[in-house]
């Protein structure tokens, strides 16, 4: 199928509406409703944070960047929280050690909900101040990022536990038909990518700029579990020449032989937030590291797309998908093929690109502590695009750049193929 | 002062009464009353276990060693618990990884209390079976050991937390007068040590056997904080020649400069289960490793007693002291000097001896899984004697042998001096 | 100064002549002449290899890729060497553990020289076979890369030793005058980069392809030690906001406070292959990690160039510089300013770019074991350009892409500034 | 067989003659004759030191404790050596890091031989000073200890190397007949152990003192490889209940399934200083850790002797055996059964005892730096007795206490059984 891409990709927020404070704040708590108190406390690896930490840190963000500097006479809820719930803002001060977040039984969950109430009440006093809108927008988008982490971190906590607790029972899954993937062709030449507009976007999405691309082919849908099972069956995890050097080392050291949360190479099913169940060959494969996505692509004889290619290809993709609002919490088989252009680019699974995360030409981090938000991570991370079943539809954009180290697997991360023409 | 020791030390349980099931079981839960749910979950170092794990494991012990083999038709509360709450019994099966006990949010605290109810109810059916008395006695003594650990582990959890939570407010501390210590002299020759009798004792306390000792002097009381402050002030932590080689290495690697829980070398006070407070120079120093106890003794020009000397010297010591039943949860200054013989040998602080933990002549571990209780730890541990403020008065004996690796500091461990004559 | 760049950068090998076997092979041994036998054996960190390993591995390369497949009846010198001297070619077989290369006393240095003789003799028989020219060229360029490593690895071995051995006494250093740097401006738009031509180049240098660049400014010379001393003096190593997140973590963990080989933050001089000596403020700073180069640029208010910018800017740079053939083994102060365009782009110090090492559009690794040469390292590495005082003038090209992880400092790595216009 | 032990064990040095300086010093160099220069440099694990370090450190010992304080006007060979070759004497100064000894290519082997010459020449001037005899004796006994380490460390270096170098070709091994072991019985009661006399002994061998022992049985000879093969065949390495807790953990972590230097559980033979060869079932098993010795004894239903039992039993043992002077460098099958009492107590293999290394009653370390020789290691080590095929006959005594951590296997360490009567 030949696709004529728009010469430039969408510049807008997918919805174009500013987020509403109360709605976003409540959604964090909605996501925690199924939890027992104990589930809020635990940290099963360094990258995971306890749910109560997420609830507190997102609150700390509003307290630190809005209330303290902008609400006269504001008295902090608890002075110790400045240190305890600072994630990585060196400009604000020294942070409590990240790998030890799960070693703090106090403050209790109940105290943290009190903290949320306390901050939210005082926020009301400044909620309508025009000059604070940019801060609110970043604060709410920040909280949405942590909402996704709440889900992926809980999945790690539950997946680690031999009792395999269930977060929420799954609604019936719509059956997926088999969709052979097609190669869609895109023309080379000068394209523009990056965000431009007046809605919210993160600083790393801009400036919008020209790139020169060679013609490329782009898969009509993400790789499925069925396809990935063939890779495993063909000895994918035992063939060093398919892997990046660092990937092969990781496979050996970690004993990887299947995606994360697959039991017994898939024969035992996969663990989801709705418990352990069989693998559906038509559902998109997820919980892959970059290393696995890259090795799979090499096995196929294709490659991962660059993030520029991904963004260009997304021009024709519909703004629809399986987002966190569906409350499905897992990617689903493709059931709605896009009329023109690639399907399933938004939602379901984050798609690894071959692009190492770096600054766009002309990028400049904002001044002050918020300048630490994105820029200082531009090293040893790869870009993922498109959002997942744990992302809010009000959060994602086609220009949105997520990034994780190449060995990270606990996100809903899958892949889509590309190749040279 | 010259003391004429009995030629043999007491053979009896200090109270001589079997422990009562309900009383011991309730006491574990009594100790947990001040906790928030979150406090039950956390594990701040490999040696620490979460309180909920202690509550479950002690229950597992009765389920595994009494109900499963001896109550016909018994159905386990949850099959997964056999693995989850097995501490180190290879004969029973593979154990859930010890350093990861704090990564399990489930079963919840409430489920674990249900587990206790479930097991305790079924225990009633076999409580009076004569042939099970030895198993009950080891099960209850085992639970008492974990009661002490519940307190010391919680102290570690709270001490680690920058919020410095309080376990229980302290009652007023009785003031301690200054008691210069005296050297008490003991004759050499053949003595007998070790437990002999028909009450409960652990297998490692026997067989009772003869030892030949040289004459020795024994301090009339434990070392105090005031004395230990002099050691610090004299550069004790900076003088390698005072330390065992492995001790000096540990001091360097861990950055030790005072006992555990002392803030700012003691200038900032010490952390107790009742919070942070000033140091009383007359209270026994505690939370020392063997390395520190040994270095202090060398600094004084004395040494630690062997466990044989300790046991011989204890013959004249009164069976009294500051035990867990006092609900003070910290050693107290000496206020009652023993009329003859050494004071404060029982309760307050465990006293490090210079004896590496090993089998008495003729020792044989019991058959079966319970043979794993004590014998397999006879390696790289030192013996401590006398019990502490976290030990039950119904648990301790003069023949009782506690043991920890030489770098362990989170127990209520102090020291008493001895020397050659 | 305004520079009109050629629209495309040079496509040629700087010299355009194929390397000669005997000349390259002898040069490896020439570099080892100053060594004692013991100096050949030691490996002071995982990244360093013993000199004798380099001598053997480069020989193994010819034996494995030329003699074994192409010389009929060839009998290996020693079957065990296939395993011992395989660096990272999984297609060839399992490799002896890299971090343990320094734990092998055998084969002896003398045996390894015998190995070189043995292979070189047999190579004569196939040296003139036309179809092997590409293999010879990669084998010789490979050996040249290891020649640079022999020097940097020996520097690490000597620098680690408290006796601070001298590799070779330094000839008199030509004095450097102070050269204020200038910003040279380059136009944006479409440029071509990458190697194209019939001389040797590594696969990662191509395909030649179009890139779109924004206009940029490029420093006329690398950053000097004097400039870097200002950064240190201004608290550069103590200011977290200057650093990438991972960089700041590395600074803390490694205790960095100056470039590698600087003693006492430079007050004690710097260690060179000619021993410890004073720092010349006019010499290019080197032994910087990417993290340090990046932090310095941020401190200045500039940035590092991308590799595309670097290559475009290099069009006007003269093919001259301080290479290994000078036998100076350390960067030198600038004494010859380029008449038009940037000075000192080749030789002296490798220049970190802000580009993470990845495949050019259309890149395809060669088939077979040699496909493991470059492609599998395209992850978590940054590109360096231009060669150094330890690189051969016959080895470098303007399209040459070196790459190292961002914390690597033991190469002769410095930086040059760029900025947006 | 019933043996009537002497009521006290021998108090003497086995030979009763002071060691001669030149003879001991030359013997170190004799042991190094088969080495290539490279073999002197390498350190294959933290516990191993390079041969050149041993040669230098033993020289440093004489320089530090004899020449510097006692030879007027002595000028050190090289001031840096005070730091480089100090092993663990904090009183002398800071030591060069032990695990990094193998990272120093300089000083060269030749320089270290020069150092030996330099020191030995100056030693001549004080060799006959009566008051220095005790220092000479400790210096020479110290050097003999390092001679044993030279051999065991070289064995580790060679054993690690896939080329399996040979230290010295083995002379023909005398064939060993099968000797069923007998239990020899010893009476309990008061015995005396420890060194007393005027010849040289280490401080840890005294004071001689009374111990009370229960009656015990003692094996007539050490355990053989054939017997140990039965243990392996019976699943010894797979049965956790046979092991100390820490031993089982070590087995799991290290993947032990046979003694050190056994290939493929013994089916591939064993590596000796004369190369790889078949196992002789009659030769004493060696290169066992304490954990393995202890597990084997438990499997048999016996135990290890205490060091007191060993010393008492040794009274009737002949002072003969396979020592380093035999130049066999490996234990040999028993061919000379002692007429009365146990055979093969001296030489061949060090025998692990169940005694954790601690101070004898009344032990006091000597004043000054030499007080660091023995006492500071009395922690987490077990005592071995009897010397080995790598020990000098002029070095060993029946009262001699060697000590190693329980997981050490690279010494010639075997075991002999004991049991209660």
- Return the bridge partners of D271, or none: D276
- Are C328 and C171 in contact by the 8 Å Cβ rule? The answer is yes
Q: Secondary structure of A162-227 in the HEC alphabet?
A: CCCCCCCCCCCCCCCCCCCCCEEEECCEEEEECCCCCCCCCHHHCCCEEEEECCEEEECCCCEHHH
Distance between CA atoms of B79 and B97, rounded to whole angstroms? 17
pLDDT of residue A173: 62
pLDDT band at A126 (very low <50, low <70, confident <90, very high): very high
Reference D191, options D343, D304, D306, D311; nearest CA is: D311
| Contact (Cβ atoms closer than 8 angstroms) between residue B301 and residue B295 | no
Query: Tokens 């492995």 map to which residue?
Result: B246
Under DSSP, is residue D209 helix (H, G, I), strand (E, B) or coil?
strand
Query: What would the DSSP string read from start to end of A258-273?
Result: SSTTBSGGGTT-EEET
pLDDT band at D14 (very low <50, low <70, confident <90, very high): very low
| Percent of chain C predicted with pLDDT > 70 | 95
Q: Do C379 and A88 touch (CB under 8 A)?
A: no
pLDDT exceeds cutoff 50 at C3:
no
Chain B contact probe: residue of D190, D291, D380, D418 with most B CBs at under 10 A: D380
The helix/strand count (H/E) of chain A reads as 10, 11
Nearest CA in chain C to D161: C104
Q: Decide if C155 contacts C286 (C-beta within 8 A).
A: no
Neighbouring chains of C at 3+ CB pairs under 8 Å are: A, D
Q: Which of B18-32, C161-175, D156-170 has the lowest mean pLDDT?
A: C161-175
Percent of chain C topping pLDDT 90: 86
Whether residue D369 is predicted with pLDDT greater than 90 in this model: the reply is: no
pLDDT score for C331: 97
Q: Report the pLDDT value the prediction gives residue C339, as an integer from 0 to 100.
A: 84
Nearest to B162 among A39, A80, A102 (CB): A80
Lowest mean per-residue pLDDT among B130-144, B357-371, D288-302: B357-371
Whole-angstrom Cα distance, residue D93 to residue D76? 16
Nearest CA in chain A to C304: A359
pLDDT value for D175:
61
Q: Indicate contact of C with B: 3+ CB pairs under 8 A.
A: no
Put simply, the answer to whether A245 touches C371 (Cβ < 8 Å) is no
Q: Note whether D103 contacts C165, CB cutoff 8 Å.
A: no
Alpha carbons A240 and C92: distance in angstroms, whole number: 11
Q: For residue A339, what pLDDT is reported?
A: 84
pLDDT over 90, % of chain B: 86
Q: What percent of chain A has pLDDT over 90?
A: 86
Whether residue A245 and residue C355 make contact (CB cut-off 8 A), yes or no, is no
Tokens 């021009």, residue located: A315
Contact D155, D190 (CB under 8 A): no
CB contact under 8 A, D209 and B214: yes
| pLDDT surpasses 90 at C174 | no
Q: Distance (Å, rounded) from C-alpha A270 to C-alpha A224? A: 14
Contacts of C264 (CB under 8 A, 6+ apart): none
- Antiparallel, parallel or unpaired: β A189-193 and A209-213: antiparallel
Model confidence band, residue D171 (pLDDT cutoffs 50, 70, 90): confident
3-state helix, strand, coil in chain B (%, to 5): 35, 10, 50
pLDDT digits (tens, 9 = 90+) for A1-12: 444 434 343 333
Strands (E), D268-395: 270-272, 275-277, 350-356, 382-385
Q: What is the mean pLDDT of residues D105-110?
A: 98
Task: Give the residue-averaged pLDDT of A90-111.
Answer: 96
Return d(Cα B28, Cα B51) in angstroms, integer.
10
Place of tokens 């020791």: B5
**With bands split at pLDDT 50, 70 and 90, how would you rate the model's confidence at D135?**
very high
Name subunits touching B (3+ CB pairs < 8 A): A, D
Banded pLDDT at A365 (limits 50, 70, 90): confident
Alpha-carbon distance of D247 to B372, in angstroms, equals 13
Give the tens place of pLDDT for each residue, D255-312: 999 999 999 999 999 999 999 999 999 999 999 999 999 999 999 999 999 999 999 9
The three-point CA angle D243-D248-D252 to 5° equals: 150
Tally of CA atoms within 13 A in the half-sphere of D48 that contains its CB: 26
CB contact under 8 A, B108 and A43: no
* pLDDT higher than 50, residue A223: yes
Once rounded to an integer, what is the mean pLDDT over residues C374-387? 95
Contact B103 A157 (CB under 8 A): yes
Mean pLDDT of A29-52: 98
What's the mean pLDDT in D78-86?
A: 97
Q: How many CB atoms lie within 10 A of CB D405?
A: 17
State the average pLDDT over residues C340-348. Answer: 94
Task: Give the nearest partner residue to B212 out of D211, D245, D372, using CB atoms.
Answer: D211
pLDDT at residue D7 above 60? Answer: no
Give dist(CA B88, CA A304) in Å, integer. Answer: 48
D71-91 mean pLDDT:
96
SS3 B408: coil
* Beta carbons of A109 and B162 less than 8 Å apart: no
For C302-337, what is each residue's pLDDT tens digit? 999 999 999 999 998 988 899 999 999 999 999 888
Angle ∠(A145,A290,C48) on CA atoms, nearest 5: 115
CA distances to C40, D39, D412 from C162, rounded to whole Å, are 18, 22, 34
From chain A, pick out residues whose CB is under 8 angstroms from the CB of C358.
354-356
Chain A: residues touching B (Cβ < 8 Å): 36-44, 52, 80, 83-84, 96, 100, 102-109, 157, 160-163, 165
Q: How many CB atoms lie within 10 A of CB B266?
A: 20
Q: Which of D103, D106, D163 sits opposite C163 (nearest CB)?
A: D106
The secondary structure of chain D in percent helix, strand, coil, rounded to multiples of 5, reads 35, 10, 50
Q: Where are the beta strands (DSSP E) in D197-289?
A: 209-213, 216-219, 270-272, 275-277
Distance, CA of C339 to chain centre: 26
pLDDT of residue D180: 83
B3 pLDDT more than 50: no
What pLDDT is recorded for position D267?
96
Banded model confidence at residue D18, pLDDT cuts 50, 70, 90: low
Spatial CA neighbour of D334 closest among D220, D202, D185, D184? D220
Chains near A (3 or more Cβ pairs under 8 Å): B, C
Q: Do A376 and C190 touch (CB under 8 A)?
A: no
At D339, the pLDDT band (50, 70, 90 cuts) reads confident
Q: Which of A34, A35, A37, A38 to mutate to test the interface with B (most CBs of B within 10 A)?
A: A38
Are residues C162 and D39, on separate chains, in Cβ contact within 8 Å? Answer: no
Sign of CA pseudo-dihedral A351, A352, A358, A360: negative
Closest residue to A38, CB basis, from B37, B44, B83: B37
Residue B408 has pLDDT above 50, yes or no: yes
| pLDDT interval class at B9 (50, 70, 90) | very low
Interface contact D43-C165, CB threshold 8 A: no
Query: Residue C278 above 70 pLDDT?
Result: yes
The mean pLDDT value for A310-329 works out to 93
A239-258 pLDDT per residue, tens: 999 999 999 999 999 999 99
Which residues make Cβ contacts (< 8 Å) with residue C33, sequence separation at least 6?
none
Q: Check CB contact under 8 Å for C80 and D163.
A: yes
Query: Nearest Cβ partner of D41 from C41, C44, C80?
Result: C41
Chain C residues with CB-CB distance to A under 8 A?
A: 88, 90-91, 190, 209-214, 240-241, 243-248, 290, 354-356, 358-359, 361-362, 371-372, 376-380, 406, 420
Distance from CA of C53 to the nearest CA of A (A): 21
A interface with C, Cβ–Cβ < 8 A, is 88, 90-91, 190, 209-214, 240-241, 243-248, 290, 354-356, 358-359, 361-362, 371-372, 376-380, 406, 420
Tell how strand A413-414 and strand A350-356 pair up: parallel
C-chain CB neighbours of A246 within 8 Å are 377, 379-380
For residue A6, the model assigns a pLDDT of 41
**Least CB–CB distance from D214: residue in B356, B361, B376:** B361
Q: Is the peptide bond before B407 cis (omega within 30 degrees of 0)?
A: no
Residue C284 DSSP class? B
Q: Are residues D150 and D51 in contact, defined by beta-carbon separation less than 8 angstroms?
A: yes
Give how far B105 is from chain A: nearest CA, Å: 5
Q: How would residue C13 be classed by pLDDT, with cut points 50, 70 and 90? A: very low
Give the pLDDT score at D12: 36
Residue with tokens 């109270």: B15
Cβ(D55)–Cβ(D118) below 8 Å: no
User: Among residues A87, A89, A69, A68, which one has the least CA distance to residue A77?
Assistant: A68
What is the rounded distance in angstroms from the CA atom of residue C152 to the CA atom of residue C260? 12
Q: Do B38 and A41 touch (CB under 8 A)?
A: yes
> Can you tell me the distance from the alpha carbon of B22 to that of B24, in angstroms, rounded to the nearest whole number?
6
Q: Do C109 and D38 touch (CB under 8 A)?
A: yes
Residue D296: predicted pLDDT = 98
Q: Using CB atoms, which residue from D244, D376, D377 is nearest to B379? A: D244
User: Looking at this predicted complex, what is its ipTM?
Assistant: 0.94
Please report which confidence band the pLDDT of residue A319 belongs to, taking 50, 70 and 90 as the band edges.
confident
**Residue with token string 């020009």:** B301
Asked if pLDDT for residue D4 goes beyond 70, the answer is: no
> Is the pLDDT reported for residue D25 higher than 80?
yes
pLDDT digits (tens, 9 = 90+) for D346-362: 999 999 999 999 999 99
Q: CB of A105 within 8 A of CB of B164?
A: no
CB atoms within 10 A of CB B6: 12
Integer Cα distance of A328 and B118 in angstroms:
36
**Best C36, C37, C38, C50 residue to mutate vs chain D (most D CBs within 10 Å):** C38
- pLDDT attached to residue B174: 57
Under the banding of pLDDT at 50, 70 and 90, the label for residue A13 is very low
Those residues with Cβ within 8 angstroms of residue C209's Cβ, 6 or more apart along the chain or in another chain: A214, C192, C193, C194, C360, C361, C362
Closest partner residue to C163 (CB to CB) among D80, D102, D109 is D80
Write out the DSSP string of B309-338. HHHHHGGGS-S----GGGT--S-----S--
D-chain residue closest to C43, CA distance: D103
In three-state secondary structure terms, D137 is helix
Nearest to D212 among B212, B290, B355 (CB): B212
Identify the H or E element spanning C210: strand C209-213
With a cut of 80, say whether residue B187 has pLDDT above it: yes
Q: Is residue A392 within 8 Å of residue A144, measured between CB atoms?
A: yes
- E strands, C21-70, where? none
Residues B286-309 pLDDT 10s: 999 999 999 999 999 999 999 999
Q: Find the helix or strand (DSSP H, E) in which B403 lies.
A: strand B402-404
Angle at D131 between CA D130 and CA D136, to 5 degrees: 85
Nearest to B363 by CA among D292, D295, D420: D420
Give the pLDDT confidence of B68-120 residue by residue, as tens digits: 999 999 999 999 999 999 999 999 999 999 999 999 999 999 999 999 999 99
Within A236-289, strands assigned E span: 270-272, 275-277
Q: Which two tokens stand for residue C191?
A: 């440029």
pTM above 0.90? yes
In whole angstroms, give the CA distance from residue D135 to residue A121: 80
Minimal Cα–Cα distance from A281 to chain C, Å? 30
CA distance B286 to chain A (A): 24
Burial class (CB in 10 A: 0-12, 13-18, 19+), D145: middle
Q: Phi/psi at B2 (nearest 5 deg)?
A: -105, 130
Q: Is A342 exposed, middle or buried (0-12, 13-18, 19+ CB in 10 A)?
A: buried
Say yes or no for a CB contact (<8 Å) between A108 and B38: yes
């Amino acid at each position: 199928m030949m696709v004529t891409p728009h010469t430039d990709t969408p510049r807008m927020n997918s919805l174009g509406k500013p987020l509403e404070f109360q709605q976003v704040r409540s959604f964090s708590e909605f996501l925690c409703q199924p939890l027992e108190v104990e589930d809020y406390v635990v940290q099963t690896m360094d990258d995971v944070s306890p749910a109560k930490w997420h609830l507190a840190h997102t609150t700390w963000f509003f307290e630190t960047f809005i209330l303290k500097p902008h609400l006269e006479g504001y008295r902090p809820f608890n002075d110790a929280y400045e240190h305890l719930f600072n994630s990585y803002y060196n400009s604000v001060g020294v942070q409590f050690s990240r790998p030890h977040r799960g070693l703090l039984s106090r403050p209790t969950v109940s105290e943290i909900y009190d903290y949320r109430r306390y901050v939210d009440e005082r926020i009301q006093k400044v909620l309508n101040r025009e000059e604070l809108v940019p801060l609110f927008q970043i604060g709410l988008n920040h909280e949405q990022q942590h909402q996704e982490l709440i889900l992926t971190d809980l999945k790690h906590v539950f997946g680690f536990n031999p009792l395999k607790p269930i977060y929420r029972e799954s609604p019936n899954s719509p059956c997926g038909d088999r969709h052979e993937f097609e190669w869609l062709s895109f023309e080379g030449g000068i394209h523009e990518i990056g965000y431009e507009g007046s809605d919210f976007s993160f600083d790393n999405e801009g400036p919008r700029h020209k790139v020169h691309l060679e013609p490329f082919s782009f898969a009509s849908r993400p790789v499925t579990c069925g396809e990935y099972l063939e890779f495993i069956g063909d000895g994918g995890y035992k063939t060093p020449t398919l892997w990046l050097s660092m990937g092969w080392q990781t496979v050996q050291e970690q004993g990887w032989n299947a995606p994360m949360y697959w039991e017994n190479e898939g024969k035992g099913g996969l663990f989801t937030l709705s418990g352990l169940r069989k693998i559906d060959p038509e559902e998109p494969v997820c919980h892959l590291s970059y290393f696995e996505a890259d090795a799979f692509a090499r096995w196929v004889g294709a490659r991962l797309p660059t993030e520029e290619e991904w963004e260009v290809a997304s021009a024709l993709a519909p703004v629809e998908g399986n987002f966190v609002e569906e409350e499905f919490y897992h990617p689903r088989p493709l059931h709605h093929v896009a009329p023109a252009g690639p399907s399933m680019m938004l939602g379901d699974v984050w798609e690894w690109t071959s692009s190492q995360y770096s600054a766009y030409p002309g990028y400049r981090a904002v001044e002050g502590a918020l300048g630490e938000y994105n820029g200082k991570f531009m090293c040893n991370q790869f870009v993922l695009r498109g959002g997942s079943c744990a992302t809010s539809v009000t959060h994602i954009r086609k220009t949105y750049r997520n990034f994780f180290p190449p060995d990270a697997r606990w996100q809903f991360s899958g892949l889509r193929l590309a190749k040279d023409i």
